[in-house]
Amino acid sequence: MLHLEVEVQEKLAVPEYEWNQTSKDICASGDVEEATVLSTCNRFEIYYVAANPREAMAAITKYLVERSGLPVSVLRKNLFMFSGDDAVWQVVGEGQILSQVRQCHLLSIKEDGHGGKVLSRMPNNAVVAGKRV
């Protein structure tokens, strides 16, 4: 999820020490199997794995409405969903972004993280690919 309006970014922001708890909360709906959060001063992203991406996006949007107090209409204007290769290419970029994604990956694989088989590999692979680009 990229290019947020500043007011929206501020309401969605999650301190790094809460990334894993937020991921756990997102997975609690049952619609999301794995999740990890990346939230910085100008970036807010949720990487997730789900059997039904539409239901998962609806559950995540509902969670974000409850957490931020923003109306769905505002969130819909600011949320972007990427899947497959498009999702991986969103994290390939400059060194600072790669560092942030790496930190996100490291937190997701901790005991209290919610990165499973897919998310435990995807961010790390994107970082490796980004270093080659």
The set of catalytic residues is 41
Distances (CA, A) of 130 to 102, 124, 127: 11, 10, 5
Q: From CA 7, how far away is CA 47, in angstroms rounded?
A: 22
Q: Which of 129, 107, 131 is nearest to 119 (CA)?
A: 107
